[in-house]
Chain A
Amino acid sequence: MAGAVSVRGLVKEFGDRRVLDEVDLDIRPGEFVALLGRSGSGKSTLLRILAGLDAEVRGTVEVPGTVSVAFQQPRLLPWRRVWRNVSLGLRGAGKQKAAGRAVAEKALAEVRLTDHVDAWPLTLSGGEAQRVSLARALVREPDVLLLDEPFGALDALTRLAMHHLVDQLWRDHRPAVLLVTHDVDEALLLADRILVLDEGRIVAEHRVGLSRPRRRAAFAELRTRVLADLGVDDVEAA
């Protein structure tokens, strides 16, 4: 089976600083991969390269098919109503514009925002706006979904709800997902496979062989090991 994402020997330098150092990465179709790392480990840079936002690199990067991105900030156009922002996702994905509103409404129902179809983005809460951003990413029916710390700016309670939502959406649509995050629990809850990036290299890989939906108690031992890879002592386990 052909991979959804295939990266070989990827090198990215900003001046003298090598941000990504010979990175190899494969994501199978429908696979959920989490990329963990501290700030400055190069994880967001890797995601931007996969999104096609940075082409000045060495190595080969193959991301065939439709790609969608959800960023840490929702990045909605404030002068377009919510449903228009969602239907904007159809552009460039080879979809018909006429069916825009119907498709957008369906996607908004999936993220449970039926009441806000005609709202202006600036009237939404952070969690609502992020759900619109997810809906915009999903209407493209992406083969690859790139999530750049999409829950990082949300409060803890909203984040929990978003985890369940993303888990549900992924099971319904089955895109290949790369979730960039520094939240170990988030990675353990959602991903099939966890990669740890440090100083531009992938230094560890863990398979999460747990059934979904997952309970936190089930991954306590794995959590300790992943935290160790990140250079953090898990005091709860001691």
Chain B
Amino acid sequence: MLPPDKLASPVTVLGSAVELTADGQLGSAFLVSMGRVLGGFAIGALVGVALGLSSGLSRWGERIFDPPVQMLRTLPHLGLIPLFILWFGIGEEPKLALVAAGVAFPLYLNLHAGIRQTDPGLLEASRVLGYTAVERVVHVVLPSALPQTLVGLRISLGAAWLSLIVAEQVNADAGIGYLINNAREFLRTDVVVVGLLVYALLGLATDGLVRGLERRLLRWQVR
């Protein structure tokens, strides 16, 4: 019904998917993209969690880190691409940086808020039971912050994929974004659609992973 140069038919898409998988193109592109997301996520999570803990657990940390982070988070981080390219060049670094920026903010905000929501009554009860400050953090504060932090994790994983897609559109010589851009040059809408489908499946898979994690870690919540 549609001309193939606008949108390929599902059959063609399926055929190309099989073909791309068979010759290893899709597999290697997948690995490259996956590596970028994992690397960027690791950096962003490290920064987000470190800052979230510092400003959640200490008044001084909050005074130092919270105002600048709150200011920066109003910037749409995808708008940072030009700066990141100027700073990091056009290799892997700007892609990792963009993914990391997408991940760090939602994690920070939710971890910080989660820690601050700790029930003072529980803290008092644990003090009466003889808990030290460190034990109170481990047994009371962090478990209290967990539900909110997992919400942050879901948002940040969504942001990670989004950042990757945008970063790979700008310039890439490998990965799913490269596959899509390359296909565009040759009007291969079937390959473009395959790439998009892979992005969608990866997003779904990571979301399912976090939901599984929630079910396991938050079993104590009454649903």
Q: Which residues of A contact B (CB under 8 A)?
A: 51-53, 67-69, 71, 73, 75, 77-80, 88-89, 91-93, 120-123, 136, 140
A77 touches B140 (CB 8 A): yes
The verdict on A122 contacting B128 (CB below 8 Å), with A73-B121, A77-B139, A77-B143 known, is: no
Determine if B127 is an interface residue (Cβ-Cβ < 8 Å). Answer: yes
**Contact pick for A68, options B124, B128, B139, CB 8 Å:** B128
Instruction: Check A52–B220 contact: CB distance below 8 A.
Output: no
Is there a chain A Cβ closer than 8 Å to B84's Cβ?
no
Given contact pairs A77-B143, A78-B220, A71 touches B129 in the complex (Cβ within 8 A) = no
Residue of A75, A78, A120, A123 touching B125 (CB-CB under 8 A): A75
What 0/1 readout, one digit per residue, does chain B (121-147) give for beta carbons within 8 Å of chain A? 110111111110001000110010010
CA distance A62 to B165 in the complex (A): 66
Q: Are B129 and A122 in contact (CB under 8 A)?
A: no
Q: In the complex, A123 Cα to B222 Cα: how many Å? A: 7
B124 to chain A: closest residue by CB:
A53
Q: Is B121 a contact partner of A75 (Cβ separation < 8 A)?
A: yes
CB closest chain-B residue, reference A51: B128
Instruction: Tell me if B219 counts as interface (CB < 8 A to partner A).
Output: yes
Does B74 count as interface, using CB distance less than 8 angstroms?
no
Please, how many angstroms separate the alpha-carbon atoms of A79 and B140 in the complex?
Answer: 9
Q: Are B128 and A53 in contact (CB under 8 A)?
A: yes
B221 touches A (CB below 8 Å): yes
A91 in contact with B121 (CB, 8 Å): no
Tell me the B167-223 residues at the A interface (CB within 8 Å).
Answer: 219-222
- The reply to whether B130 and A75 form a contact with Cβ atoms under 8 Å apart is no
Chain A proximity of B17: nearest CB distance (Å): 43
Report Cα–Cα, A79/B142, bound state, in Å: 11
Find chain A residues with CB under 8 A from B219 CB: 120
Q: Are A79 and B124 in contact (CB under 8 A)?
A: no
Q: How far is the CB of B159 from chain A (nearest CB, A)?
A: 27
User: A-B pairs with the 9 shortest C-beta distances?
Assistant: A92-B130, A75-B125, A120-B220, A122-B222, A79-B143, A69-B128, A79-B220, A75-B121, A78-B220
Give chain B residues whose Cβ lies under 8 Å from the Cβ of A75: 119, 121-122, 124-125
Check B222 against A67 for contact (C-beta < 8 Å): no
Which residue of chain A has its CB nearest to the CB of B143?
A79
Contact B122 A77 (CB under 8 A): yes
- B166 to nearest A CB, angstroms? 38
Q: How far is the CB of B105 from chain A (nearest CB, A)?
A: 27
30 contacts between A and B (CB under 8 A): A52-B127, A52-B128, A53-B124, A53-B127, A53-B128, A68-B128, A71-B121, A71-B124, A71-B125, A73-B121, A75-B119, A75-B124, A75-B125, A77-B140, A77-B143, A79-B220, A80-B220, A89-B129, A91-B129, A91-B135, A92-B129, A92-B130, A92-B131, A120-B222, A121-B220, A122-B221, A122-B222, A123-B222, A136-B129, A140-B129
